[in-house]
C-alpha cells in the first residue's frame, strides 16, 4: 500500500482546505476557534507512534525551560479536560478526593489508566507536556508572557514544517518570525504579537498555514532535512504521473489558547496532509490550489520550499486532475 492509499474519503471530508480565495498572501488570519480544538482521526495511532519514534531518537524535540513547569501542568490539564469533553466514550478525567489535587486519567484508545497529583512530577511516567502530547496528534509550543513580549519557552514539536524547535526554544515571538519574508515590512508580525498578548483566559482562536510536502512525511524539520530534502528534487525531475500520489497539500490548523492558571499561551499545531490525487476528487479544491500555486510570489514560494515542486503539482493538476489553466 502506498502512503497516499492510507488516505480515505473521510480524510477528504475532514480536510481543513486552507484557501478561501484564488490568491494566497500572508495576513494575521485568526478567527474564533470552533468547538473542537483537538481532533482525533484515523491516523491517531500511526502519528503517535511516529512522534514516539522521533522523540526517542531526538530528545531536543521536547523541551521545557524550568520556569515553564507550571505552564506545562496547566497545559496538560487543559488538554485532558478538552479531550474528556470531546471524546467522553474514550477519555475520562476524574478529580479524586483527599488533600492533594489528585486525578485519575483514562484514555481507553491507548489503554491508559493513571492517577497523578497535579504538580508532582514523580506521579507521572514522563514530564507533563511529553505525557499528554504523547496522546494527541497536535504539536505544541507554550509561550510565556513577560517584559511585554511572548517567548516560546516550552514545547513538543515532532512535525515541524521546515523549522527547528530546538533552535527556536527560548526565543521571542518576533525573533521566531524573523526569517519569514514580508511579515515584518507588512506589520503582520507585530499585529499578531499584540493580538496574542491581549488574549483572555476564556478565549481561543485558530488560524491555518500551508505548504507542500513530498511522500507524506510529517517530520520535515530542519534536523531531519537529510531524510526529506532530496525528495523535492526527485519529485520535480520524476514522471508527472507519480505526482498525484507523491505530492501532498500540508495544512496546519493552529490554535491559540490562553491557559487559565499560568497565564501562558498554548499554541497547538495540527498537521493535516492530503495527496494531490485526493484533492482532485473535489474539483473546486483542485482548481483553487492550481490558481494559488500559479500566483504565489517567488519569495513566498522559496520560503515555503515549494519553488521546485509547485510546477510539477500544477502540471499534474492540469493533466490528471481535470484543471483547465
Give the pairing type, strands 91-95 and 102-107. antiparallel
- Indicate the residue among 130 and 251 with the shorter CB distance to ligand HEM: 251
Element (H, E) at 205: strand 204-214
For the CB of residue 102, give the shortest distance to ligand HEM in the complex, in Å.
Answer: 32
* Residue 226 CB, nearest approach to ligand HEM (Å): 18
- Enumerate the β-bridge partners of residue 254: 207, 269
Q: Please give the torsion angle defined by the CA atoms of residues 276, 239, 237 and 245, in that order, rounded to the nearest 10 degrees.
A: 30
Q: How far is the CB of 291 from ligand HEM (least distance, A)?
A: 18
| 266 HSE (CA, 13 A, CB side) | 30
Residues with a known catalytic role = 207
Quote the Cα angle for 303-171-261, to 5°: 120
**Joined grid coordinates for residue 152:** 516560546
Measure the CA angle with vertex 213, ends 210 and 218; round to 5°. Answer: 90
Please, are residues 315 and 240 in contact by the beta-carbon 8 Å criterion?
Answer: yes
Q: 65-97: b or e for each residue (b if 16 or more CB lie within 10 Å)? A: beebbebbbbbbbbbbebbbeebeeebbbeeee
List alpha helices for 58-202, DSSP H. 69-86, 128-132, 165-168, 173-176, 188-198
Q: Which residues bind ligand HEM (CB under 6 A)?
A: 26, 28, 30, 141, 143, 152, 163, 168, 173, 176-177, 179-180, 183, 188, 192, 195, 207, 209, 211, 267, 303-304
What residue spans of the chain are helical by DSSP H? 9-13, 44-57, 69-86, 128-132, 165-168, 173-176, 188-198, 225-228, 231-237, 243-246, 276-279, 283-295, 298-304, 309-319
Instruction: Record the cell numbers describing residue 303, joined without a space.
Output: 520560503
Shortest distance, CB of residue 195 to ligand HEM, whole angstroms?
Answer: 6
- Name the minimum Å distance from CB 127 to ligand HEM: 19
Give the residue carrying C-alpha cell 491508559.
Answer: 112
Amino acid at each position: 500500500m502506498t502512503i497516499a492509499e492510507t488516505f480515505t474519503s473521510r480524510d477528504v471530508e475532514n480536510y481543513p482546505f486552507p484557501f478561501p480565495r484564488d490568491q494566497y498572501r500572508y495576513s494575521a488570519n485568526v478567527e474564533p476557534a470552533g468547538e473542537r480544538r483537538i481532533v482525533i482521526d484515523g491516523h491517531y495511532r500511526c502519528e503517535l507512534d511516529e512522534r514516539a519514534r522521533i522523540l526517542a531518537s531526538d530528545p531536543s524535540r521536547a523541551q521545557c525551560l524550568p520556569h515553564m513547569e507550571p505552564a506545562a501542568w496547566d497545559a496538560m490539564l487543559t488538554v485532558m479536560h478538552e479531550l474528556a469533553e470531546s471524546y467522553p466514550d474514550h477519555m475520562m478525567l476524574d478529580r479524586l478526593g483527599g488533600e492533594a489535587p489528585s486525578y485519575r486519567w483514562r484514555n481507553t484508545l491507548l489503554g491508559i489508566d493513571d492517577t497523578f497529583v497535579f504538580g508532582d512530577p514523580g506521579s507521572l511516567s514522563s514530564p507533563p507536556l511529553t505525557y499528554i502530547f504523547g496522546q494527541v496528534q497536535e504539536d505544541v509550543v507554550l509561550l510565556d508572557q513577560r517584559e511585554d513580549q511572548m517567548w516560546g519557552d516550552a514545547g513538543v514539536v515532532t512535525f515541524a514544517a521546515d523549522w527547528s524547535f530546538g533552535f527556536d526554544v527560548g526565543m521571542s515571538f518576533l525573533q521566531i518570525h524573523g526569517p519569514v519574508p514580508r511579515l515584518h515590512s507588512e506589520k503582520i508580525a507585530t499585529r499578531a504579537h499584540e493580538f496574542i498578548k491581549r488574549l483572555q483566559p476564556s478565549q481561543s482562536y485558530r488560524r491555518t498555514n500551508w505548504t507542500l510536502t513530498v511522500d507524506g512525511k510529517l517530520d520535515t524539520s530542519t534536523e531531519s532535512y537529510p531524510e526529506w530534502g532530496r525528495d523535492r528534487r526527485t519529485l520535480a525531475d520524476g514522471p508527472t504521473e507519480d505526482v498525484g500520489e507523491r505530492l501532498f497539500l500540508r495544512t496546519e490548523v493552529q490554535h491559540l489558547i490562553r491557559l487559565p492558571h499560568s497565564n501562558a499561551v498554548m499554541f497547538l499545531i495540527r498537521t493535516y496532509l492530503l495527496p494531490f490525487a485526493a484533492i482532485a476528487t473535489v474539483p473546486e479544491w483542485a482548481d483553487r490550489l492550481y490558481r494559488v500555486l500559479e500566483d504565489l510570489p517567488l519569495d513566498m514560494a522559496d520560503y515555503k520550499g515549494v519553488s521546485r515542486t509547485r510546477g510539477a503539482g500544477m502540471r499534474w493538476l492540469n493533466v490528471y486532475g481535470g484543471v483547465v489553466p
